[in-house]
Amino acid sequence: MVKVLDWLDERLSIKPFFEHLLFRKMPKGINWWWTFGSATLFLLIMQLTTGMFLAIYYSASPDHAWDSIRFIESEVTFGTLIRGIHHWGSSGMVILVLAHMLRVFFMGAYKYPRETTWIVGVVLLTLVLGFGFTGYLLPWDEKAYWATVVGTNMAEQAPLIGNFVLKVLRGGADLGAVTLTRFYAFHVLFLPAIALPLVSVHLFMVVKQGISGPAKKK
C-alpha cells in the first residue's frame, strides 16, 4: 500500500492534499460537540453504500415493492442488517444534521467568514429531509402510503406553487405506480446528484476556512 501511495504521489502530488485535510491544526477548546459534522459525513457514506446494495434487489412497482423488501430481509445474505442500517441511518442523518446545525448556530460559527458554509448547510438539511420523505414511501406499505398522502397534501397548501408541487410528486391525482417511480427516481438519482456536489463544496469551505473554535469570553 505504501508503494502504491508513493507511486501516486510522484505523479499527482497527493500527500500535501491529505496532509492539509487530515493533519490540520484544531482550535483550542473544541470537544465532542464538534464531531457532529464528521459523524454526519460517515453516516452519509453508510447510507450511500447500503442504498446501492438495496437498489440491486428493490423493485419500484406497487406490485413488487413490498415483496422485494421482504425478499431482501428474508433471502439476501446480510439483507436484514443492510436494510436495518439504511432504515435507522435515515433517522440518524436527520438527528445529526440538526444537532450539527444547532451547534453551529448557538456557537456563532455561521458568522463571517463562514456565511456561505452555513447557507450550503441549510440547503443540505433540506435535502436530507427530502431523502427521508422520498425513501419513506419505497416499502409501499399502508403506513408509508398514508403518510405520503398526508405529506403531499401538505405540499399542496404551499402558496402559488402548491398544485404544481403536488403534480410533480404524485404524477397524478392520487398515489400510484407513477408516484412510486418518481419518489424512487428522486431518492436515488435527483437528490444524490444535487447533494454530493454540495457536500463536496461544504467540505472544501470547511477545510479552506478552518473550524470555528469556541467563542471567546469578553
In a domain, 141, yes or no: yes
**Residue range 156-202, pLDDT digits in tens:** 999 989 999 999 999 988 899 999 999 999 999 999 999 999 999 99
Number of domain units in the chain: 1
In a domain, 2, yes or no: no
Separation of alpha carbons 215 and 218, rounded Å? 9
In a domain, 106, yes or no: yes
**Residue range 87-127, pLDDT digits in tens:** 999 999 999 999 999 999 999 889 988 999 999 999 999 99
In a domain, 7, yes or no: no
In a domain, 125, yes or no: yes
In a domain, 15, yes or no: no
Burial environment of residue 133 by CB neighbours within 10 A (0 to 12, 13 to 18, 19 or more): buried
- Neighbouring residues of 191: CB distance < 8 A, sequence distance ≥ 6: 127, 130, 131, 134
Separation of alpha carbons 216 and 218, rounded Å? 6
pLDDT at 218 over 60: no
Alpha-helical regions (H) of the chain: 2-12, 15-22, 36-57, 65-74, 79-106, 115-137, 142-156, 162-170, 177-185, 191-209
In a domain, 27, yes or no: no
The model carries a pTM of 0.90
In a domain, 17, yes or no: no
CA–CA distances in Å: residue 141 to residues 54, 70, 162, 171: 17, 11, 26, 19
What cell numbers appear for 176 in the block?
Answer: 400510484
Given a contact cutoff of 8 angstroms between Cβ atoms, the answer to whether 88 and 80 are in contact is no
Q: What is the pLDDT of residue 3?
A: 83
Q: What is the pLDDT of residue 217?
A: 59
What cell numbers appear for 60 in the block?
Answer: 419500484
- CATH code for position 95: 1.20.810.10
Place of cell 441549510: 122
Domain hosting residue 123, numbered range: 33-209
